[in-house]
Homo-oligomer: A and B are copies of this chain.
Amino acid sequence: MAATPRYDLYYWPTIQGRGEFVRLVFEDAGVAYRDMARLPETEGGGRGAILRMLAGAPRGTPPFAPPVLNVGDLWLAQTALICRHIAAPCGLLPANETARLHAEQLMITIMDMVVEAHDVHHPLAKSMYYEEQQAEARRRAAVFHAERLPKLMDYFERALAANDSGGPWLVGESASYADLALFQLIAGLGHAFPRALAAQAGTAPRVMALHGAVAERPGVRAYLASPRRLPFNEHGIFRHYPELDLPPAT
């Protein structure tokens, strides 16, 4: 009997962030993983778990930043790559080669959008406080709502429409890790910019249906209702600063 591999995820313990895309894959599948920095400090958890991992020089190519996955001798970074790597054992890898490539293309595009959404509140520097770049953030937010958010919603709506297999998913007939990632992107945008997302939802019914379909998958639904799902907060990627959302309808 083959031993089940032990999956250890290293990601900041107090935010969803990029680690959430990895957590969702494991949780959807019900595959066991250790969220290392969320273990008790007495068991080696906490932020120290990440700092020790980064300082401890995993063998081979080092990671630039969390999330980092350790499985056996492999240490792997980059969210899109980690999600793809665990997709097969989690039953979330498309069956045919073209669909696998397109799931990757979509996943990388989603992660590009995550950067764009983050940089709305931090257009100048990650290392500066929001309050130091608030005026710039307001200018960036206006363009994001007028141009980038409609463009991204239109893109994923077209991608979903181009899948003629009849289901709610991005590629093929089954859910893939890219679908979970699009769910998380939409969830995050809905937290950060509820009015702006609501203004777009009507033009992207397939995107909103996919968001709902992922939320109803048994593994995801159980996860979202559990304490393992950290709430969104104003330390992560998707932050709700009302002044960066669309103004209220009058």
Contacts and interface: CB of A to CB of B under 8 A. Distances in A.
User: Interface SS of chain A: helix, strand, loop or mixed?
Assistant: helix
A102 interface: yes
Interface residues of A, number: 44
Nearest to A155: B64
A147 interface: yes
A57 B140 contact: no
A8 interface: no
Interface in A93-110: 98, 101-102, 104-106, 108-109
A60 B128 contact: no
A108 B105 CA distance: 12
Interface of A: 57, 60-64, 73-74, 76-78, 80-81, 85, 98, 101-102, 104-106, 108-109, 112, 115, 119, 123-125, 127-128, 133, 136, 139-140, 143-144, 147, 155, 158-159, 162-163, 170-171
